[in-house]
Structure formats: C-alpha cells, structure tokens
Structure 1
C-alpha cells in the first residue's frame, strides 16, 4: 500500500456497489446524503516582545464537505474541498502563524476523499468501520489541527470498533497535508528525509459505577517508522457533588523514545536525545455556570550532551510530533496558547476558571482565564559552567460567543489572547521568545 489514489477509491466503490444497486438501500444512499461546510475568517497576530517584531496573518476560508448515505447499510463515500485566501499578512512573516506560508496569496486543496465500510446496524451492541483514503484522522497519538484556516489531513486507513463501553481504533498513514499548504506530501523528519509511514492505536473502556460515578481508562500510542515510538496512558474519575456539580480527577502519562536512524541530529539536539517522559495530574469542577481547573505537570527531556543554543546547553522538551510536517497529540491541560510548558525538568502548574453568562441572560457567551507557571529548569552557561534557575509563565484569556439566540444559528466567534514571559537565560537556552499572541475566529457553519 505505497499510495492511495482517488482512482483506487473509485474502483473500490464501483466494485462493492454492483451487487446492491438494485436494492432498496440505493434510496438511502442518495436520500441520506448530506452537504455541509464552513465559511470563516481567521486572524493571528504574534508580537515578539523580546525583539519588538510582529508577525501574523488574516485569512478567509471556505470548507465544503459532501458525504453519501450508506449503501446496503455498509458503504459510504465522501470528501472535502478547502479554499484559503490571504486578506492581509504582516511584514516579515515567515509562516509561523500557520495560516499561510510566507509569500503565499492563498491556496485550495481536495483535503479529503474517502470510502467508508461499516458494520450493518443489525449487529446490536457492536459498531465498527474502516475508512480508506484522504481524511481527518484522530487516532491514538496521531491527530490533526483544526484551529487554523483549514484543517490538516492524512492519507491512509483508519479503523474503529465500539462495544459495551469498549472503544478501539487503529490507523496506518503514509502522506500528510499541513494546515498551511495545498496537496499531500511525504512525511519527513527535521532534515527532510522521508518517513515511510506512521501508525496510531488507542484502546479505551468506561466503567459505570454506583451513584452516577464513572471511571474511564485509555491507552494511546503512535509509531513513526524508523523515527519515534510514543505511548500514553490516561485515567479519569468522575463523581457528582452537591447541587448538580461534578468533579473530574485525571492522570496522564506520556513516554516517547527514538526508534531508528531518522531520529536525527536536529531532533536529538533540539528536543530530546533518545527518550522523554511527562506526567500530569488535573482536576475540573463544574458548578452551574462556573468551571474551575487546576493541574500539575512534570517533564524529563534531555537533549544531546553537545547541544548548544546561544552559548547555553539547549534545554530539551517533550517532542510529540511524528515528523516535521505532522501533528501529534499533546492534550495535557498545562499546554497553553503560546507555550506547551513541557521543558526538561519543568514543574508546570495551572489554575483557571470559565464562566457561562447564559444564566444571566447573555446566552451563548463564555469567558475564561488561565494562569500557567513553570519552573525547575536549569540553563547552563557553557562559557562559565554555571547553571541558572529559570522559569516561564503565561496568562491566557478565551472568549466565545454563539449568535444562535439572534436567529443566526451556526455563526460563532472565538477570541484568544496569550501573554507569555520568561527569563533571559531560558530564552537563550530554548530560543523561545516572550510573546503577546492574539487569535480570532469568526465562522459560519451551514448545511445545504
């Protein structure tokens, strides 16, 4: 399975459709078809307050999705097309906004084209499907990014099964399309060398306990051929409290290890040498319109002994990507808008709250604030041999508004602001500058 071409998908659809075209299921294949999409404008502004440089972009984008119903309660086909147009771009932008690459006026792409085979609904209590082609894959530690102008996507096979609280998924992928580019491309490492394939797998089970409590266990992994092997285990315990409130306690553990020659010099000297790990404890309290969050995270990620940055030994970080042009999962609560707070020996804390204004008549409006603080890192000056204790912190604000109450169903606005500061020695040892980051989305979801 070196490549998956649209012509191959067409042949597969034709082959499996022949025996049932005359059946009643053909009606549902057409009548259950749906076409939907999104029109949105996205604005990113990144103020590098260390060097007084501004980068960012403003784009308009259209998403169009189409999917048939299931033929013989078994087969469906679908796809998505995307178009991005540049509305404005800051001078000196080098593509870090991930909205558009530098010099790009816009692009279009066929982001998805797939065929899906599922188990008929006559199998009570059991559901399963296999989707083949270009698609949005979120399986195991392999994922996409949907927070830019258009989403990233993968090419390959994605399969899932679900039965009585058990959930399992597995994916095999061999090409990727980034969120800021057209077309599909080989997966590559930091040096541009090809990674033949990436796999992801996950298993999960939810135990329903007495008194409306539940315990959820999850295992996820990701493997990039001759590059990286990563694992993750999660546990969440939910319990009701007084007056309809609910408490969720969680624990997360991530482990990654180089898995071949493609984990090259840039990876070993830039992120971690041969292995990294990170653990997280978190709590969420939902109480009426309020949501309160707290979390702690600790990371170990040593770089190679000869790694240097601006006269300091480079401080490593947990690298969760499966290739330079891919997306990996890093869904720990201590990951902020600007910084992931996952540096070597870092002890990261967060405390935050969100309020839903619906209870006081402002339906659809919510506002959240989170404070992040990370310390414990050591910045070693290679000229003097001295080590400096360094830290970083960030303030994040998020506002969301749904215009449904004004008769504009599907119209949504989201605004994020991150204010990030750190120590000078930390900046030199990581290359991560102090930043003010503003992001805004205005999107309209529609159905035809």
Structure 2
C-alpha cells in the first residue's frame, strides 16, 4: 500500500509539472541574497496548570527564548538553490521547580535546564513552481503538525516538497525522519523512523476550498484528513463560513498506548469529525460547532511522532474533546475592539460541553465502566501593536477552566495522556524583529 501511495504522489506531481497554467515563481527569482529574509522572535512565555483532579501535581513554567529564522532567496536560472537556518536559544525565568507541559527541557533528576539551544539548517531547490526543502523545519501539515503553542516550536527533519504548477491546486509530499518536541534537547528524541506524508489543497473559487492529507508513520499509525470550507455573504454586510473536517486513524501494534479500549493495539481505530458555522459581522464573530468521535478509541495524537498540533478540529482549546466515543458542542464568540479606538485588541470566549465518553476498566480495557463528561470555559485577550517600532508585537493572556468526570480523570492520568480537571493560565509576550 505504501508503494502505491508513493507512486500516486509521484504521478500527481509529474502531471502538475507538465501542466503549468500560470507564471513560474523561479523565473521571477531575484537571487540568493536579494530575496533573503531574516528575523528573530523574542518570546516570553508563562504556563501554569492548577490541577483539580487530586491525582497529579500542579505545573508551572516560565522562560525566555529567541527564535531565529534566516532564509535565503533562490539563485537565478532554471533550477534555483537556497539555504536557511532555524533555531532557538532559551533560558528559564526563576527556578521552575514544577515545570512541565513541553515548556522547558529537564535533566534526568527532573530539574529544569538553566539554558539551552536547538535548531538546524536546511537546503532548498526550486524548479518552476515546485520547491523541495531538506533539513530542519516546522511542519504545518494537518496530519503531522508541529506544536507552535509552547515556548519554542516542535521541529522535524526530512524532505518536504510543494508543487503549485496548476492554478489553485497545491500538492505536497515528503518524508520526515526526525522529530524534536518543544522541550527536547536531542533532534531525534521521539525516536521517529520515518513518516511519509502526502496531500492536496484546491481552491474551487473564492467561496469554496477543499483539502486532503495523509501520513504513514512507520510501525505506528496511518492517518487521513479531509476538510471542506464554504464562505458566503449574507444581508447586512455579514458573511457565514461553513466548515467540515474529519480525521481517520488506524494504529499499528508498535504504536504508543493511549485511551484504547481493546488489548490489541493493532485493532485501534478512530474517526473524529466536526462541523461548524461561523457568523462574522464587523467586530463580531460567532461560531457554533459540533464534534463526534467513533471507533474503539479516542483520537490519540502526538505520542507517535505524529505532531503535537495534529488536531485541526473546531472544539480544540485546552481540551480537544477527543475521548473515546465523545460528542461535544461548542460556542465561541470573538470581539474586535477596533470600533473603540483600539485596533489590534481582541477578546475570545468559548464554552464546550462533551459527553458520552467511554471509560474503560483499568484492568480490562474491553469493559466500559462509565459514560463520562467534560466541559471547558475558555477566555483569551490578545493585543497586537499595529504600527511603530514595535509593530506586530503582541501580548496574549489566556485562561481555561476545565472539569471532567472523576472516572475520566483517572483514565487520562493512568494512560499519561491527558490534562485532567485543571485551571490553566498562559501569558505570552512576542516581539518580532526583522533583521533583513
């Protein structure tokens, strides 16, 4: 099956290459130096989880980092070549006795690193509108997405190919062979052998978009993702966006354990899907969403080198509402203070309720002992500077109130996969600096 996927991807990319329908990006290249970009993001991050499940300890982390991104342009000619560097250098703020949550690396005795640095380089080549990049990179592919919600990003190492030869169609494919979490020192600390991925995104018109992506993580899992999006205008200068998304995952016998309700890991399978409707008018944005899990396990992700942010579903906040057989409904409201002389200030609140969660007996994973529930109240205020020397600098304050049934708390703690009932605070200060 894997060989057929590789062949299909190769055929698609080859077809794109011979069907160019618009101008070539490479023909417009200005040069290796002329098109270069360099930036540093100075980030101060604080994350505190006040655990309420009575089973796990509180965690609190605070640190400072500088994330650097140096990216060359492409040389001129039929084939353009380039290179880049991505990495971060960080230090802790305070003792950080109870650090956790993928924020700060720790020594074998559990103590936090005082300072640390990570990153790597990459090379790239471009023909027409097709680009290949090999080396260290941050992945935004929905089935193997890097975590960018911590102090530093999650990195992958490998080959990424993107082709835009046909107007409105993007094809991607490649292979990653190393995975480094945000709090990993080693570039291959997650033990990834290989993750082969592929996908396509197509813009039918200004209103309709659709995409599909897949990944095969060797000896771990196979995952597929599909999304469709429809945006249309409604009276009174408003618009509505309808969105549908789904993941299907099948795990292999070598996969990391999770919330499975069967003793045979190779039999684990999950389909999680969600639909949402968003109404947007001037400063107001309201989203109503429904999400549903099916299969013999919840939607487990991240622990098989498959990306700590591979959860592009509508009811994903502190909790992802991805328990076994869980259904959830969510309501989100966002307000932009632009009409009050405060452009750049946004407030978001959301409430999500999840129910019908199958909780398995600890000693007999095939026996369901409870139908649990969870609910979350989410609030976030973010201000982004609009102009001046600190343009695009932002301060974000986020608070989540998450509670779940005691039986579900027990299951998540026993399987080392969940947050449990928690009050969480996050404070993020980002100051981007353009170097060239």
TM-score (norm 1): 0.81
Picking from 326, 329, 332, the partner of 1:346 is: 326
- Contact 2:43–2:429 (Cα < 8 Å) also in 1: yes
Picking from 319, 324, 337, the partner of 1:357 is: 337
Give the equivalent residue in structure 2 for 1:99.
104
Give the equivalent residue in structure 1 for 2:410.
428
Picking from 54, 61, 65, the partner of 1:57 is: 61
- Contact 1:178–1:325 (Cα < 8 Å) also in 2: no
Picking from 189, 195, 205, the partner of 1:198 is: 195
Give the equivalent residue in structure 1 for 2:204.
207
- Contact 1:224–1:322 (Cα < 8 Å) also in 2: no
SS in 1 for 2:147: coil
Cα distance in 1 for partners of 2:363, 2:39 equals 59
Cα distance in 2 for partners of 1:36, 1:359 equals 32
Picking from 266, 274, 287, the partner of 2:268 is: 274
Picking from 149, 153, 157, the partner of 1:147 is: 149
- Identify which range, 140-149 or 285-294, moves more after superposition: 140-149
Picking from 113, 123, 137, the partner of 1:115 is: 123
In the TM superposition, what are the counterparts of 1:360-439 in structure 2 within 5 Å?
360-379=340-359, 387-405=369-387, 407-431=389-413, 432=418, 433-439=420-426
* Gaps in structure 2 of 5+ consecutive residues: 1-27
| Offset at residue 300 of structure 1 (A) | 2.2
Cα distance in 1 for partners of 2:262, 2:393 equals 41
- Contact 2:162–2:170 (Cα < 8 Å) also in 1: yes
- Contact 1:392–1:421 (Cα < 8 Å) also in 2: yes
Cα distance in 2 for partners of 1:63, 1:382 equals 42
- Contact 2:82–2:123 (Cα < 8 Å) also in 1: yes
| Offset at residue 204 of structure 1 (A) | 1.4
1:251 aligns with 2:248: no
Give the equivalent residue in structure 1 for 2:219.
226
SS in 2 for 1:243: coil
Cα distance in 2 for partners of 1:199, 1:48 equals 37
- Contact 1:46–1:54 (Cα < 8 Å) also in 2: yes
CA change 1:274–1:294 in 2 (3 A) is same
Give the equivalent residue in structure 1 for 2:299.
318
| Offset at residue 69 of structure 1 (A) | 2.1
Picking from 175, 198, 205, the partner of 1:172 is: 175
- Contact 1:358–1:364 (Cα < 8 Å) also in 2: yes
CA change 1:38–1:179 in 2 (3 A) is same
| Offset at residue 415 of structure 1 (A) | 1.4
CA change 1:243–1:90 in 2 (3 A) is same
- Contact 1:65–1:80 (Cα < 8 Å) also in 2: yes
1:333 aligns with 2:337: no
* Gaps in structure 1 of 5+ consecutive residues: 1-24, 121-126, 189-194, 303-315
The structure with the larger Rg is: 1
| Offset at residue 56 of structure 1 (A) | 1.2
- Contact 2:83–2:123 (Cα < 8 Å) also in 1: yes
1:446 aligns with 2:427: no
Cα distance in 1 for partners of 2:179, 2:190 equals 6
Cα distance in 2 for partners of 1:257, 1:325 equals 13
| Offset at residue 322 of structure 1 (A) | 6.3
1:84 aligns with 2:66: no
SS in 1 for 2:312: coil
TM-score (norm 2): 0.83
